[in-house]
Amino acid sequence: MTGSPFLTARALGLGAVAAVLIAAMVVLGLWQLGVYDDRQRDDARSTLGRAPVALTDVIGPDDAFPSDGVSRPVTVRGRYLADEQFTVRRSATLGVERAVVSPLEVDDGSIVLVVRGQGDQAAAPPAGPIDLTGVLEPSDPSGSALDANRATDGIRTAALVQDFDQDLYSGYVVRTESQPADHLTVITPPTPESSRWAGIRNLLYAVQWWLFAAFVAFMWWRIVTEPPVGVPSVAEDTAEPSSTTVG
């Protein structure tokens, strides 16, 4: 009985070489995947690192939220409406237990909601004109109207518009700095989605290395299971010779 072709010295030797090559290619693929992840994070950070522009250059009080406005650094000037501020409890979008949101009235009388920072509703905003820099975010996907304590679980414009008499911007601003200074601790703006194309070359390189590894494994199997040229196969060795009748 013939032994397994995978346990011959030749097969084991080739297998050791193949294992080293496969391991190296898997590691190289993982390295390229890590580079891809880094490029994705860098792209997201660069979105937040853009130079701020005036809020009115991105969106108006009656405009639908633009697709290119997500995580856009903006500047805006106005006055806080201290009596109309509210809190957001356990915000999944902002990632904090409690955030203070103060409506900022701009020159045309409309208001934009500003996430001033972490704290409670008693934290009064600075008085007088405010020059504010922050990150523009779209309305949250979920959130209720303000309750009796002027609190909600999300900044959803459609639910909050009934609580204000002025026109309300369809997005809100997460404050990063302001003049005069605000005593509340700023909240880190939500991390934006990176471009699907950021680092795509590295992702393709990772897939390429793993395909090479699969090809090496396939070639090892092919070489081991097929006899060398000129060497009869097991079937040929065990085949019975045919008899010839001499007339």
The pLDDT profile of the chain, 247 residues, written as one tens digit per residue, is: 456 888 888 888 999 999 999 999 999 999 999 999 888 888 777 777 889 999 999 999 889 999 888 899 999 999 999 999 999 988 878 888 889 999 999 998 999 999 999 987 778 899 999 999 999 999 998 888 899 889 998 999 889 988 898 899 999 999 999 999 999 999 988 877 777 788 889 999 999 999 999 999 999 999 988 866 655 555 555 555 555 554 4
pTM more than 0.75: no
Query: Which residues on neighbouring strands pair with residue 96, listed in sequence order?
Result: 91
Class of residue 9 by CB neighbours under 10 A (exposed 0-12, middle 13-18, buried 19+): exposed
Widest pairwise Cα distance in the chain: 123
Give which of 109, 96, 88, 77 is closest to 160, Cα–Cα: 88
Query: Which residues on neighbouring strands pair with residue 137, listed in sequence order?
Result: 172
> Rounded to an integer, what distance in angstroms lies between the CA atom of residue 61 and that of residue 161?
12
* Phi-psi group of 71: left, alpha or beta (phi > 0 → left; psi -120 to 50 → alpha; rest → beta): left
* C-beta neighbour count of 212 within 10 angstroms: 17
Query: Which residues on neighbouring strands pair with residue 185, listed in sequence order?
Result: 118
